Structure 1
Amino acid sequence: MDGTTLEGMRTALRGPVIGPKDPDYHQARKIYNAMIDREPAAIVRCTDAADVMDAVDFIRDHGLELAVRGGGHSGPGLCLVDDGLTIDLSPMRWVRVDPAAKTARVGGGSVLGDLDHASHAFGLATPAGIMSTTGVGGLTLGGGHGYLTRKYGLTVDNLLSADVVLADGSFVTASETENPDLFWALRGGGGNFGIVTSFDVRLHPVHTVGVAITVWPVDSTREVLRWYRDFLPQAPEDLYGFFALLAVPPGPPFPEEIHGHKMCGVVWCWTGDLDRLEETLAPVNEPGRPAFHFTAPMPYPALQTMFDELIPAGLQWYWRGSFFDRITDEAIDVHLKYGENLPTDLSTMHLYPVDGAAHKVGADDTAWAYRDAVWSGVIAGIDPDPANAQTIKQWAVDYWDELQPYSMGGSYVNFLGAGEGQDRVKATYRDHYDRLAEIKRIYDPHNLFHANQNIEPAKER
C-alpha cells in the first residue's frame, strides 16, 4: 500500500492508522501467539461502527487484503495478513450491563475480563472461555465454551443479537427476528459473514463459585480418565471440570514438592451450594489418592484470571483440536503416551466438557454442528523460546494424528491450527457447511472476509 493510499485512509477514519514507518507499528502488530510474525501494510484501529464501515469500504474499493482483530488470541494468527490491512477493534472495549434485564451489550474489541468485571458487580455472568484475556468476538463467533457451559450452555446459546458491518459496508442487526439467517450463521460460523461491532448477551446469576484443582501423577492417567469419563457426564450440571495433562507450575496453590512434575488433573468449577462442594467432589479419591487436591470459594472473575499469568501473551503456540463423544481406552493410551512426554513445561492437553445445557439446544438451531459432542479437546504445544517452535509443533501434530481415529472428525473452529485445510473446515461444520456457504453468498459473495477458517461462498445457481 503506497503512502498516498495510507494517508487517504487516515483522512477517512477517526481512529489511528498505523503503518510500517510509524514508531508503534511493531508493537501494534504483535498478537498473543508469538509464533506468528506477519507484517501487515497497516493496522487500522477503529473507534466505532462508523470507522469500521468506512474502513471496510476503503479496503474493498482498493482491492486490499483484510483481516480482523478482536482480542488477538487467534492461535493460527488469522487476525494478521502480510501486506494487507488488519481492522483492529481494540479501541472498542466497553460493556454496558442491564441488571434488570440480565443482559449486557459488549463492544467488539472487548476481552472476557471486561465482560466478567462489568457483570460481576451485579452478580451475573455468561459462559465464555477460561482466560480473561481472550477476545469476546472471536470466542463468541466460534461458538464459545467455558466454565459455565454445562450449566448455561455455549456462549452462542446466550447471544441475543449482534450489530454487524457487512462486506458492502452496510450496518445491520442480526437476531432471531432481524436477519435471522445471518444470526444463525454468526452462532458458530466464525468471522466469515461480517465484522461484529457489538454483541448483546444473556447473563445468569453467578457470583462466588466453588473452585477445585485435583492432580494425580501422570502414570495414573488411565485410571483417572476412565473414572472421569463416567463421573462427569452423570454429575449435576452445576459441576464443570476440564481434564488436563500438565507439568505442575512453580507457584501457589501447588506445594513445592510437586513443582515441575508431570501430572494429569481436573480444574473444577461448582455453581451450586458452596457447602456441597466437598461432598460433590468426594469421588476424586476413587481413581487413586490425588497428589494434590485444593478447594476454595472464589469470585467468578478470579477463576477466569487464574491462568493469565501462567500463559501470558508472547509465547510460542501451536494447537490442534477435536470433538469427542466418548473417551475410549485406546484414546486413553494415546493421552498417557504424550502426557508422559510433554515437550515443554507449558505444553498441555485439555478436554473441555460441552454437554449439559449445551445438549438442550437443537442440532440445527445454530451453526455449531456438534451438539452430540461431550468433550472439546485441544492439544497445545507452548514455550517461550522460539528455538523450540518446531519441537512443540511436531509434538502437537503427532499427538493429534494418533488421537484422531478416536475423535468425531471435526473440531471447535477456534481450535483449528494453521494450515489444516478446507477439508478440516468442512468437517467442523458437518452438514451445516452448505447452508453456511449459501448465507456467505448472500452477505459476502466475493469472500472479502477470508482471512479466517474460511467458508467459501456458494456458487450462483
Structure 2
Amino acid sequence: MLKNSHFHHGWTLKSPLGSLSIAAAAPRNDLESCLAKAVGGNVDRAQFPTEESFITNDVKHFNLNLKYEPAAVMYPQNKQQVVEVVKCAAKHDKKVQARSGGRDFISKCLGGADGAVVIATVSPGNRLRSLVEGLNKNGKRFIPHGASPTVGVGGHLMVGGSGLATRQHGLAIDMLEQVEVVLADGTITTASEKKHSDLFFAMRGAGASFGIATEFKLRTLPEPKEVVSFQFNFTSDNPADLSESLKAYHQILRDPNLSRKLGATSNISKKTFFLNGGFFGSEAEYKALNLEGRLPEMSSKRVVPGMSYIDFINGIMQAASGFPDSANMYTKDTVVTPSTLPTNATIDAFVNHITTASADGSGWTFLIDLYGGAGNEVATDATAFPHRDLIYSLTAAALTDGPTTKTAEDFIDNAVLKLQDGKPGRFLAYAGVPNYKLNNAQAMYWGPNLARLRKIKSKYDPEDMFSTPQNIKP
C-alpha cells in the first residue's frame, strides 16, 4: 500500500501497493520505455497522456481547480516493481510521489504540477471501508480511523488518521508498529521504534516526503461491544439560535472530564448545526453523560443504543460517502487547542459572517471533528504529526460548479479568521486536508517537528525525489 503524495514534471503510477510520482527532463520516449520495463512490459500497467481515457480513467482529478496532467500513471503489481520505477525515475532525474485513494484536496498526489509520475493504489485493501470490513471479519478487530470509505489506507496512515474513536484510542498512526518503505535510492527497508526509528518517526505524519510505504504492521484492538449512535439537528432561521447551539457545544468541549468514549463530528451550514457521532459504551453510560441535557432544544434527534460497531461505522461511512468524487473546491483545515478555543464573541462573529457574507454561489460547509483524550497523551515529538494538544479540527470547504472564485475563497478564509479572533495563523493546520493558498505550509502542518523532519529528509532523500510543493524539503 502506498501513500498520497505529489511531484513535478514526470508521470503517474498505480498499483496494489500504492502510488508514486516522478518528474524529470529526459526525453519522454526513453523515460516511457524505462517505466514500461519497470512493470514487466505490461502495457496495461503503464498509462501515458496519449491514451484517450488517460484523464478520466487514470488521473481522475479530485479537485478540479488543480487539474495537473502527469506524464504517466503506472500500476506496479508488487514492491519490486515499485523499486524499479523509483530507480527508473532516479536514472532520468525525475521526482517521485505516491498515491493511495486519490482523495487529495490540492492534487499533490498528481505531483502538484504538470508532468509528474504517480503510482496509485487500487487494491481494495487500500480503502478504509475494506480495512474496516477485513478487520471485522478477522476476529472483530479495529483501529481508530476516519469516516470516509474512499480514503486510501496508505494516505490515511501516513498523515495522521483521526476518527470517532481517537479520543479513546488515539490516531491511526498510533497503531502502527512497523512500515516497509521504498526509499529514494531504490532500496527497501523497514522502519519501527527499534529499527530506523528516525524514519519511523517521519513516516507517521509526513510519510509522503520520505518514501513509498508498501506494507504496514498494525496493532489492532477488539471492537467496542456496543455503540450508542446519536444525531442531533439544530435548525433555525434565526442566527442567534445557531450561535446558541455552537456555544453550548463548545462549553461541553471545555469539560476536562468529558468521557473518552464520546466521538463526534458536526456540520455547520447557514441555518443548521448538525451533531453526529457515537458513544462507545452502554446506554446507561451514555445517559450518565447527559449530552442532550447540555445542549439547547433540538429540531430533531435520533438516538440508537446497543448497535454493533460494524453496523455503526457502516452507517457513518454511508453518510460520509456523499462527498463528490471530484469537484472544484477550496478547503482549509485548522486545529484548535484549549488556548485557541473560540469564545462566545468569536462564535457570534463567525455566525454573523456565514449568515450574511457572499459565498459567490458556492456550496459550503464547516466540519468540527472532536479530538482530545488518548490522542493528546502522545508526546508532540513522538511522531511527525505534531498536533497532540488539539481539542478539535475544523475543516472548511467551498464547492463550486466552475473554477472556485476569490469571493468563495475569501468567504472561507474570513469565516475561519472570525473564529481566530482576527489573528491569522492562530490555528495551525492539518496536512491531511491541505490548503493550496497556505503560506509557510510546512511550519503550519508540522510545527515544532519541522526542523527534525528536514534533517531526516536530508538523510533519506537529499535530492527531494519524493517532492511536492508543500512537502518537507532537505
TM-score by length of 2: 0.83
Asked whether 1:289 is paired with 2:297, we answer: yes
Q: 1:214 aligns with which of 206, 226, 232?
A: 232
Q: 2:419 aligns with which of 403, 407, 415?
A: 403
Q: Please say if residues 322 and 408 of structure 1, whose CA atoms lie closer than 8 Å, have aligned partners that are also in contact.
A: no
Summarize the Cα distance change of 1:452–1:237 in structure 2 as closer, same or farther, 3 Å threshold. Answer: farther
Counterpart-to-counterpart distance in 2, 1:319 and 1:408: 17
Counterpart-to-counterpart distance in 2, 1:391 and 1:441: 40
Q: Which amino acid aligns with 2:330?
A: Y
What is the deviation of 1:389? 5.2
Q: 1:8 aligns with which of 34, 57, 62?
A: 34
Q: Please say if residues 65 and 84 of structure 1, whose CA atoms lie closer than 8 Å, have aligned partners that are also in contact.
A: no
2:47 matched to which residue of 1?
Answer: 18
Counterpart-to-counterpart distance in 1, 2:394 and 2:372: 13
Counterpart-to-counterpart distance in 1, 2:32 and 2:118: 14
Q: Which amino acid aligns with 1:211?
A: S
2:247 matched to which residue of 1?
Answer: 226
1:314 matched to which residue of 2?
Answer: 326
1:176 matched to which residue of 2?
Answer: 193
Summarize the Cα distance change of 1:444–1:387 in structure 2 as closer, same or farther, 3 Å threshold. Answer: closer
TM-score by length of 1: 0.85
Asked whether 1:73 is paired with 2:79, we answer: no
Counterpart-to-counterpart distance in 1, 2:403 and 2:284: 48
Unaligned runs of 5+ in 2: 1-26
Unaligned runs of 5+ in 1: 95-109, 248-261
Q: Which amino acid aligns with 2:204?
A: R
Counterpart-to-counterpart distance in 1, 2:303 and 2:120: 38
| RMSD over equivalenced CA pairs, Å | 2.3
Q: Which runs of 4+ in 1 moved over 6 A?
A: none
What is the deviation of 1:309? 3.8
2:214 matched to which residue of 1?
Answer: 197
Summarize the Cα distance change of 1:270–1:283 in structure 2 as closer, same or farther, 3 Å threshold. Answer: closer
**Number of residue pairs matched?**
425
Deviations 1:318-370 (A, max 9, x none): 11121111232233124313442584685211122220011111222112222
Summarize the Cα distance change of 1:86–1:291 in structure 2 as closer, same or farther, 3 Å threshold. Answer: farther
Q: Which amino acid aligns with 1:209?
A: V
Deviates more, 1:54-63 or 1:333-342: 333-342
Q: 1:416 aligns with which of 420, 425, 434?
A: 434
Summarize the Cα distance change of 1:308–1:400 in structure 2 as closer, same or farther, 3 Å threshold. Answer: same
What is the deviation of 1:407? 6.7
Q: Which amino acid aligns with 2:135?
A: S
Counterpart-to-counterpart distance in 2, 1:293 and 1:449: 47
What is the deviation of 1:191? 0.8
- Structure 1 counterpart SS, 2:429: coil
Percent identity over the alignment is 24
- Structure 1 counterpart SS, 2:110: coil
Q: 1:365 aligns with which of 378, 382, 392?
A: 382
Deviations 1:156-198 (A, max 9, x none): 1111111111111110111111110100111112411111112
Q: Please say if residues 47 and 92 of structure 1, whose CA atoms lie closer than 8 Å, have aligned partners that are also in contact.
A: no
Show the 5 A alignment for 1:122-271.
Answer: 122-206=139-223, 209-217=227-235, 219=239, 220-232=241-253, 233=255, 234-246=257-269, 262-271=271-280
Asked whether 1:336 is paired with 2:367, we answer: no
Summarize the Cα distance change of 1:275–1:199 in structure 2 as closer, same or farther, 3 Å threshold. Answer: same
Counterpart-to-counterpart distance in 1, 2:363 and 2:231: 17
2:14 matched to which residue of 1?
Answer: none
2:116 matched to which residue of 1?
Answer: 85
- Structure 1 counterpart SS, 2:463: coil
Q: Please say if residues 120 and 300 of structure 1, whose CA atoms lie closer than 8 Å, have aligned partners that are also in contact.
A: no
What is the deviation of 1:38? 1.3
